[in-house]
Amino acid sequence: MGRISSILVARAGALLVVVACSALAGPASAQSFTDKLKGLFGGDSKPQEQQAPPANPDEPQVTTDCPQVTIRAGASTYSVAAPGKQAVGNDVRYQATITKMARDCTRTGGDITARIGVQGRIIVGPAGAPASVEVPLRVAVVQGGVGEKVIATKAYRTTVNIGEDESVPFSFVADDLVYPVPPGAVADNYIFYVGFDPQLVATSDKPVKPGKKKK
């Protein structure tokens, strides 16, 4: 058991080295992710101020009034255990972590469509992970302040192939979160939250009760 724990610690240490190196790389790694998301978003390389405004106000237009995106507290990691076990120590099959995020917003009439990119990493645990795993994610736009108010929220699932690797990156873009344009200064209190949602898996794993037989 001690040897297995040492292996997990070594893997975690290796991941920290990778993350540290990415942080030191700074602009290069950030630019790479930004470019990738631009491709996923279908972004335009022209600055927004050089883009001509649409002749029809109901046509989609990129807006700079786009909330900041952050990870919901307690939802930055997602650990999965062997069947019937707790996701701790040697019983961990794999753990997913969110590492980077990006977003853009498009306004169409009275609605805003947000596209939010999430990049993360999956580390295989001592119990061993399957060849592919399903990652449950949730994205929400929330009006902050005294007593947060959820404006819109959507759940997503993405499948990540692991194969025989011990650590693999993943990326996902939620491109269909729609919410009404906030009035005036209220927009300043809006924020995007992203995070893992284990309840999605728990719900899907519940057995379906058979219907009552008709007499």
Total number of domains in the chain: 1
Q: What is the pLDDT of residue 203?
A: 54
Residue 183: in which H helix or E strand, if any? none
The answer to whether residue 213 sits within a structural domain is: no
Helix (H, G, I), strand (E, B) or coil at 170: strand
**Contact yes or no for 119/75 (Cβ under 8 A):** no
**Secondary structure E strands in the chain:** 61-63, 68-71, 77-81, 92-108, 111-124, 132-143, 149-161, 167-180, 190-196
Q: Which domain holds residue 147?
A: 2-42+57-205
The answer to whether residue 93 sits within a structural domain is: yes
Q: How far apart are CA 16 and CA 22, in angstroms?
A: 10
The answer to whether residue 167 sits within a structural domain is: yes
Q: What is the pLDDT of residue 143?
A: 94
Q: What is the pLDDT of residue 51?
A: 42
Which of left, alpha, beta for 145 (phi over 0: left; psi -120 to 50: alpha)? Answer: left
The answer to whether residue 48 sits within a structural domain is: no
- Condensed to tens digits (0 to 9), the pLDDT of residues 90-112 reads 999 999 999 999 999 999 989 99
Kindly give the residue spans of alpha helices, DSSP state H, lying in the chain: 2-25, 27-41, 198-205
Q: How far apart are CA 80 and CA 144, in angstroms?
A: 31
Q: What is the pLDDT of residue 23?
A: 33
Q: How far apart are CA 97 and CA 12, in angstroms?
A: 12
The answer to whether residue 84 sits within a structural domain is: yes
The answer to whether residue 91 sits within a structural domain is: yes
For the chain, residues with pLDDT lower than 50 are 1-10, 12-31, 36, 41-54, 204-215
Q: What is the pLDDT of residue 154?
A: 95
Amino acid at 68: Q
Q: What is the pLDDT of residue 200?
A: 84
Strand 61-63 relative to strand 92-108: parallel, antiparallel, unpaired?
A: antiparallel
Q: What is the pLDDT of residue 82?
A: 87
Q: What is the pLDDT of residue 201?
A: 75
The answer to whether residue 212 sits within a structural domain is: no
Short-list 123, 122, 117, CA closest to 156: 117
Q: How far apart are CA 109 and CA 95, in angstroms?
A: 41
The answer to whether residue 210 sits within a structural domain is: no
